[in-house]
A and B are shown apart, each in its own frame.
Chain A
């Protein structure tokens, strides 16, 4: 297993890659990709069983990005792991690319096309159910947004996952408390979010979603209870790691200009050097 220090360094590097990717293409969802970088880093470099050289290995854990718009961190991680050549990141959002602005299952490492919010958990329920039917040990990790929690289909899937006792299903909410129009509690109040999931029959826990050791502990401990799906509310900071982007709703899909990019990379480099000593 990769050490938490190495994971921390990796997550900072991924953030730098994300900013360069978005700046290069002049499009992308910056805030959410920075908030979920730590979650994805812990999943892909430590928790999930997978093999970049055999993307379709049947025993792999499945990852579904239900909040598909934050795909930039996923592209950077998949490239870093060797699912496709890093060089290809240059094609992100360019004409004819397969590295579009949402997960695309023409790319090795992507299971399903997502992007329309509220779909990922139902798909994940089907996958977790399929694993049980086939007697296969793989787990399904589904990353949702918090704004996405307003989609009714999420709650249809939540009901079904508990009904079918899918303890091989782990839902994670990137709880950065912001969505495109502002604060989640102003746009459509979600709280008490944990109690809602508990009422739907899930085993719920909260974690600092930008704290690598904490994330690592909880994600290695799943399922939290046999016979129940697990829901992890990962409390994150939108725009995490870049001071002027943190907690700013406009950074949902703000593209850093040249100056912002330079400043952001300086901040992240400084943070990286702290963890490299």
Chain B
């Protein structure tokens, strides 16, 4: 089992690249510990900015730095970054077209026992609706590394959401092609497609395995970039498999599932089951407990898949 959290990978990747590029700057809001950015702050203090607990100022300063030719990476808890500072994201970053990368750490229900104030289950919906903002979620540590490398080269605003704890590997190494906006097909299948992003990709793969034993052949798409969306991959999945289940650590409103359904409803209407956190303050607990409670598990996906195959998910 992997023991390296994605946030540590982000720090290591940025530290390596920032040694070569003095324009790379990391900003935190008293979040260097939770963002695992302390080694960066220590190694490159001239390229590190602490704003204290002031998320609006954090993003505004990052926009000003970007205007000065810097390449700021802002690391702050996703719950605050995507809410407290959202107007700065909208106006100072997106509207002014500044090259600012926002890393929402401890995203989703990572802070499970701390309650709704610390859950970020609306962040994808909110940021996705803002023009000029890319939205990305890495599936594991290997993808995190490749995503950060790609984002250093990417000109524009982007929001990346990661979880707090180490996640099981999806990839065995970083020897694969990663492109922002290009979904990755992890399993080929014709019966239905599981589309996931971030930590739910592993669950989709495990569900795929269960369904294979049941004789159902699943396609699995890692939709690491929720915006810009890989419309081709979604349409192909709808046309070729006829059924879709989406899995996300997010409200069932406005996130990955909604993005997929927006595409299918226009180009190829097929049943899309959106699996995520229902419209309620999420129950307290560890991530795995919360996931199990809401059925974000391989076993529940297996059951949903069977119902979809038997057309039992019709609205009556």
Using CB atoms and an 8 Å cutoff, list the residues of chain A in contact with chain B: 62, 105, 111-116, 118-119, 121-131, 133-134, 136, 152-153, 156-157, 159-160, 163
Contact = CB atoms under 8 A, between A and B. Distances in A.
A123 B51 contact: no
Contacts of B69: 130, 134
A124 B52 contact: no
Contacts of A113: 91-92, 95-96
For chain B, which range describes its interface: under 10, 10 to 19, 20 to 34, or 35 or more residues?
A: 20 to 34
Interface stretch (B60-68, B164-172, B189-197): B60-68
A78 to B, nearest CB: 17
Nearest to B51: A160
A156 to B, nearest CB: 4
Given A133-B25, A134-B69, A123 B63 contact: yes
Interface string B31-69: 000000000000000110101101011011111111111
A123 B68 contact: no
Contact of B60 (A105, A126, A128): A126
Given A152-B56, A157-B60, 12 more contacts: A105-B96, A105-B97, A112-B92, A112-B98, A119-B60, A123-B60, A123-B67, A125-B60, A126-B60, A127-B67, A156-B51, A159-B57
B174 interface: no
B161 interface: no
Nearest to A138: B68
Given A125-B57, A160-B61, A130 B68 contact: yes
A126 B52 contact: no
A14 to B, nearest CB: 25
Interface centre among A112, A121, A134, A152 (most CB of B within 10 A): A112
Contact of A122 (B47, B88, B96): B88
B76 to A, nearest CB: 13
Interface in B152-203: none
Centre residue among A111, A126, A136 by max chain B CB count within 10 A = A126
A44 B63 CA distance: 24
B60 A122 contact: yes
B87 interface: yes
A147 B276 CA distance: 43
A136 B69 CA distance: 12
A133 B68 contact: yes
A101 to B, nearest CB: 14
Contacts of B219: none
Q: Which 10 A-B pairs have the closest CB atoms?
A: A126-B64, A130-B68, A122-B60, A156-B57, A156-B54, A126-B61, A127-B64, A153-B56, A123-B64, A126-B65
B70 interface: yes
A153 B91 CA distance: 14
A122 B91 contact: no
Given A105-B96, A123-B63, A156-B57, A129 B49 contact: yes
21 contacts: A62-B67, A105-B96, A105-B97, A112-B64, A112-B96, A113-B91, A119-B91, A122-B64, A123-B60, A124-B64, A126-B68, A127-B64, A127-B67, A129-B49, A129-B64, A130-B64, A130-B68, A152-B56, A153-B56, A157-B60, A160-B57
A156 B61 CA distance: 11
Contacts of B97: 105
B298 to A, nearest CB: 44
B98 to A, nearest CB: 8
A185 to B, nearest CB: 25
Contacts of B52: 156, 159-160, 163
B126 to A, nearest CB: 16
A153 B52 CA distance: 13
Q: Which of B46, B47, B63 has the most CB of A within 10 A?
A: B63
A130 B57 contact: no
Nearest to B64: A126
Contacts of A131: 68
Nearest to B90: A116
Contact of B65 (A105, A130, A136, A153): A130
A160 B62 contact: no
A159 B54 CA distance: 10
Nearest to B68: A130
A129 B47 CA distance: 11
Contacts of A159: 52, 54, 57
Contacts of A152: 56
A170 to B, nearest CB: 14
Contact of A125 (B47, B64, B70, B95): B64
A119 B96 CA distance: 12
A122 B68 contact: no
A115 B98 CA distance: 16
Contacts of A123: 60-61, 63-64, 67, 92
Contacts of B66: 126
